[in-house]
């Protein structure tokens, strides 16, 4: 495995993954393609941008001609597809781009991989591919829908997505599965729980609350704040993806999560306490439409079959994350000084 195409590598998880791989595997070439939407930020890759095993190309995964050129030009043998529209609240207001990027973009990548990796591309019955190739789809636990007070998501559960975002991600998962079943492309799908950590765009719960708290702005908690998410540090997500890439069994789906369920209100209170602010900043606002009540990941498959274990405790991960945002005021300011304020006013004011 030598030439890895990472899509969406200028976003939150993608950039953490690219930095992890470029540093850990000097003999691999990492080709990062990203359309640089509002969520893509090349600042996230400053630390490795001059490494000889790293390359950035601005490109949209929906662009077939460009994808074909990239596969030809770089002899890609692995794809890790992070590129997506990723924010539920935005998907409620503007669903269409979620469908085109998350679903059709995935199909374009699969078609391109099939064309370049097949040993007999003109034979529709052919299921043989060059050795060592793999397509990895980065998916989410949100495809399973919402849980009640008990139970956990397992890989065999039916997909019952509730938001346009999660419906688009679920659709992409099904297309990936279909290309494996019909054409035999070697694939894996990973479904991770909510991530937190450095470089997360401040529209998501944890960085939004840190940023608002620092500025003593209202902390907008949706509904009663008792929704539960199963939080995982982004570095642990990256090590899980690394393990699936190297040892995942073709065609298999792996849930990724660290058994770390928290209510939203508890997280907001933890941030307030850590930053020494007052709980009077909390503002309960109208609930998100279709808001999933609880997510919880059963990680038995990846831990027992592939030996992955998360390294971070939530306490340590949150401490480091809050410290990171405190030390990166410029990074945050560059983001919130652009289109972000327009988005924020539309959503919250
Ligand atoms: P993000 O929004 O921070 O990053 C997405 C990246 O994709 C951005 O850099 C953006 O510019 C790029 N992109 C968007 N449309 C594109 C297109 N058409 N062509 C090329 N690039 C495009 O998202 P994230 O939080 O880093 O999530 C990455 C992936 O992980 C997504 O697929 C998401 O569904 C999945 N995921 C996220 C979480 C989480 O908690 N954030 C949890 C589980 C799974
Ligand atoms: P988010 O970070 O958007 O991730 P997801 O919706 O993909 O789980 O939100 C995490 C939880 O926090 C979710 O239950 C919605 C809630 N939330 C708020 O209460 N207020 C906010 O301003 C945001 C952005 C999220």
> 46-94: per-residue pLDDT in tens?
999 999 999 999 999 999 999 999 999 999 999 999 999 999 999 999 9
Which structure tokens are listed for 165? 């975002």
Residues 1/13, Cβ–Cβ less than 8 Å: no
Architecture of domain 3-196+232-258+294-312: 3-Layer(aba) Sandwich (3.40)
Percent of the chain with pLDDT over 90: 94
Are 56 and 50 within 8 A, CB to CB? no
β-strand partners of 222: 285
Whole-angstrom Cα distance, residue 112 to residue 42?
Answer: 25
Ligand found nearest the CA of 39: 1
Beta bridge partners, 221, equal: 284
Partners of 195 in beta bridges = 232
Q: What is the DSSP string of 187-205?
A: EEEEEE--EESTT--TTSH
- Catalytic position from the list 142, 173, 230, 261: 142
Catalytic residue flag (residue 165): yes
Query: Residue 340: its pLDDT value, please?
Result: 87
152: left (phi over 0), alpha (psi -120 to 50) or beta: beta
Task: Report the pLDDT value the prediction gives residue 1, as an integer from 0 to 100.
Answer: 60
The rounded distance, in Å, linking the Cα atoms of 237 and 241 is: 6
Asked about 142 being catalytic, the answer comes back as yes
Which residues line ligand 1 at a C-beta cut-off of 6 Å?
7-8, 10-14, 34-37, 39-40, 60-62, 82-86, 101, 105, 138, 140, 169, 192, 194-195, 201
Q: How far apart are CA 76 and CA 72, in angstroms?
A: 8
- Alpha-carbon distance of 37 to 34, in angstroms, equals 8
C-alpha distances out from residue 12 to 47, 126, 229, 277, Å? 15, 37, 18, 27
Position 144 pLDDT exceeds 70: yes
Residues at CB less than 6 angstroms from ligand 2:
88, 194, 204-205, 208, 220-222, 227, 229, 264, 288
Distance in angstroms (rounded) separating the CA atoms of residues 295 and 102 = 21
What separation, in Å, do the N-terminal and C-terminal C-alpha atoms of the chain show?
49
C-alpha to C-alpha distance for 102 and 99, rounded to whole angstroms: 5
Query: What does the pLDDT read at residue 2?
Result: 86
Give the predicted TM-score (pTM) of the model. Answer: 0.98
Which of 264, 271, 336, 340 is the pocket-test mutation for ligand 2 (most atoms within 8 Å of CB)? 264
């Amino acid at each position: 495995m030598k030439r890895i195409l990472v899509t969406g590598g200028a976003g939150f998880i993608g950039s953490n993954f690219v930095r992890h791989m470029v540093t850990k595997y000097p003999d691999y070439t990492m080709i990062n393609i990203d359309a640089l939407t509002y969520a893509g930020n090349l600042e996230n890759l400053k630390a490795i941008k001059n490494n000889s095993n790293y390359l950035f190309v601005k490109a949209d995964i929906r662009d077939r001609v460009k994808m074909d050129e990239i596969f030809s030009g770089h002899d890609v043998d692995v794809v890790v597809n992070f590129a997506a529209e990723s924010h539920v609240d935005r998907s409620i207001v503007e669903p269409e781009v979620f469908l085109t990027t998350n679903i059709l973009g995935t199909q374009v990548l699969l078609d391109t991989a099939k064309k370049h990796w097949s040993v007999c591309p003109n034979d529709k019955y052919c299921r043989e591919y060059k050795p060592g190739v793999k397509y990895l789809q980065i998916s989410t636990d949100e495809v399973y829908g919402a849980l009640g007070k008990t139970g956990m998501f397992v890989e065999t559960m039916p997909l019952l997505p509730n938001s346009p975002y999660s419906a688009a991600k679920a659709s992409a998962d099904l297309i990936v599965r279909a290309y494996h079943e019909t054409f035999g492309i070697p694939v894996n799908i990973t479904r991770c729980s909510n991530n937190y950590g450095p470089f997360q765009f401040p529209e998501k719960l944890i960085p939004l609350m840190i940023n608002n708290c620092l500025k003593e702005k209202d902390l907008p908690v949706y509904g009663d704040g008792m929704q539960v998410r199963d939080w995982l540090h982004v570095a642990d997500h990256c090590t899980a993806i690394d393990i699936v890439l190297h040892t995942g069994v073709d065609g298999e789906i792996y849930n990724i999560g660290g058994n770390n369920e928290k209510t939203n209100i508890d997280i907001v209170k933890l941030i307030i306490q850590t930053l020494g602010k007052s709980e009077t900043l909390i503002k309960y606002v109208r609930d998100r439409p279709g808001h999933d009540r609880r997510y919880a990941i059963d990680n038995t498959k990846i831990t027992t079959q592939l030996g992955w274990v998360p390294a971070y405790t939530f306490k340590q991960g949150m401490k480091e994350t809050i410290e990171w945002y405190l030390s990166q005021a410029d990074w945050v300011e560059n983001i919130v000084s652009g289109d972000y304020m327009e988005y924020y006013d539309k959503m919250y004011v």
